[in-house]
């Protein structure tokens, strides 16, 4: 089918997305010299990417995503020097990322995610000064994040999640002033979170979770005033939650669970009035639950379980009328549950076991039970 189409294409642009095209990509496509756009996304194409595509010297956009393509990424694609977009994600591609892709000086979008690519991120990719979106998630890329990453001065979305990247987060990442979304979660990163990350003042999403990061949360994280999601869970972070976290007034999701954080929950957390999800569970937090937590009136999930929290549950928790989940179990809480807890009429799951609490439980829907 696609072989026949190859001989009929005369237009400068070919949009064949969302069809049922199957079989291999014919090498003859490389003979359509005037082609500027070739899109074959979301089909059933298989086999390898033909190196003959390098002859499409006018091509500015090449998208082969969401097919069943296999084999290596041909290094010959580095000859397509007019490319601004290259999308090969969600296939079955294997082998290394060819360093020749670093020749694509006009490239703004590079999507290679969800394949089976291995080896290090070639430093030559960091030569792509016009790159705005680099999507490599869900491969088997290993090695360190190269310090040359600082050359990606126009990058706004950097997604390296779900790989085997190791070593520290280079401080040079703090020079990516246009970065909006940074995903390096689910890797093998170690060392400390560099304080330079506080330079990324345009950042909206920061995910460093599911790594081996240690040390403390840098106070400079409070500089990220535009942040809406912060994921630091499942690491080896220690020390106190910095009070500067209260500066993140746009934050909607805060995930700090399963670390070694200690000290008290800072009262400044009450400034985060847009929060819907607050996960502080499975740490070593101590002291009382701050009354200021009652200011988080948009909260739907509050996870404080498996800490060393003590004292009484504050009456202000009754202000959280949007709560769906409330987990307080396995702490050292004492006294009576405040009667205000009955205001939580949307609560579907409540657990306060493993404490020394008394008093009336909140009323839950008939099909769920409080523990």
DSSP helix/strand/coil, 209: coil
Give the three-class secondary structure for 210.
coil
Q: Given this chain, do its domains 1-178 and 190-371 carry the same CATH topology?
A: yes
Does domain 1-178 fall into CATH 3.30.470.20?
no
Phi, psi (5° rounding) for residue 104?
-85, 75
Cα angle for residues 68, 64, 122 (degrees, 5° grid): 95
Q: Tokens in use for 323? A: 């709560």
- The one-digit pLDDT tens for each residue of the chain (371 residues) are 444 454 444 456 556 776 878 899 999 998 888 899 999 999 999 999 999 999 999 999 999 999 999 999 999 999 999 999 999 999 999 999 999 999 999 999 999 999 999 999 999 999 999 999 999 999 999 999 999 999 999 999 999 999 999 999 999 999 999 999 999 999 999 999 999 999 999 999 999 999 999 999 999 999 999 999 999 999 999 999 999 999 999 999 999 999 999 999 999 999 999 999 999 999 999 999 999 999 999 999 999 999 999 999 999 999 999 999 999 999 999 999 999 999 999 999 999 999 999 988 777 764 344 44
The pTM for the full model equals 0.93
* Angle value at C-alpha 194, between 167 and 160, nearest 5 degrees: 50
Query: Which one is the CATH code of 190-371: 3.30.310.40, 3.40.50.300, 3.80.10.10, 3.90.120.10?
Result: 3.80.10.10
Q: Determine the Cα–Cα distance for residues 133 and 138; give it in Å rounded to an integer.
A: 16
Sequence ranges of the domains in the chain:
1-178, 190-371
Within 10 Å of residue 39's Cβ, how many Cβ atoms?
19
Nearest Cα neighbor of 237 from 257, 266, 207 is: 257
Of 139, 173, 138, 137, residue with least CA distance to 153 = 173
């Amino acid at each position: 089918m696609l072989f026949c189409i190859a001989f009929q294409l005369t237009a400068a642009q070919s949009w064949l997305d969302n069809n049922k095209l199957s079989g291999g990509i014919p090498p003859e496509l490389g003979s359509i010299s005037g082609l500027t756009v070739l899109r074959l996304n979301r089909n059933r194409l298989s086999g390898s990417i033909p190196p003959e595509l390098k002859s499409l010297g006018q091509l500015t956009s090449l998208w082969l995503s969401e097919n069943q393509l296999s084999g290596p990424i041909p290094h010959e694609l580095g000859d397509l020097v007019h490319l601004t977009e290259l999308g090969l994600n969600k296939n079955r591609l294997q082998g290394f990322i060819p360093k020749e892709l670093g020749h694509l000086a006009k490239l703004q979008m590079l999507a290679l995610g969800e394949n089976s690519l291995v080896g290090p991120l070639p430093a030559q990719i960091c030569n792509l000064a016009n790159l705005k979106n680099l999507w490599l998630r869900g491969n088997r890329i290993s090695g360190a994040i190269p310090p040359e990453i600082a050359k990606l001065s126009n990058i706004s979305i950097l997604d390296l999640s779900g790989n085997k990247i190791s070593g520290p987060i280079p401080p040079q990442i703090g020079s990516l002033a246009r970065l909006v979304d940074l995903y390096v979660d689910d890797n093998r990163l170690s060392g400390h979170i560099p304080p330079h990350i506080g330079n990324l003042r345009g950042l909206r999403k920061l995910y460093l979770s599911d790594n081996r990061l240690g040390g403390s949360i840098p106070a400079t994280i409070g500089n990220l005033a535009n942040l809406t999601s912060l994921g630091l869970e499942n690491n080896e972070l220690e020390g106190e939650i910095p009070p500067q976290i209260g500066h993140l007034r746009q934050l909607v999701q805060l995930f700090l669970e399963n670390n070694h954080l200690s000290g008290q929950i800072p009262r400044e957390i009450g400034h985060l009035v847009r929060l819907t999800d607050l996960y502080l569970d499975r740490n070593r937090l101590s002291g009382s639950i701050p009354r200021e937590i009652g200011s988080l009136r948009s909260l739907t999930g509050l996870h404080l379980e498996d800490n060393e929290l003590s004292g009484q549950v504050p009456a202000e928790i009754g202000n959280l009328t949007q709560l769906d989940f409330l987990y307080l179990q396995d702490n050292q809480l004492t006294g009576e549950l405040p009667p205000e807890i009955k205001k939580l009429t949307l609560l579907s799951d409540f657990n306060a076991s493993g404490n020394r609490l008394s008093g009336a439980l909140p009323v839950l829907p008939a099909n769920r039970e409080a523990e």
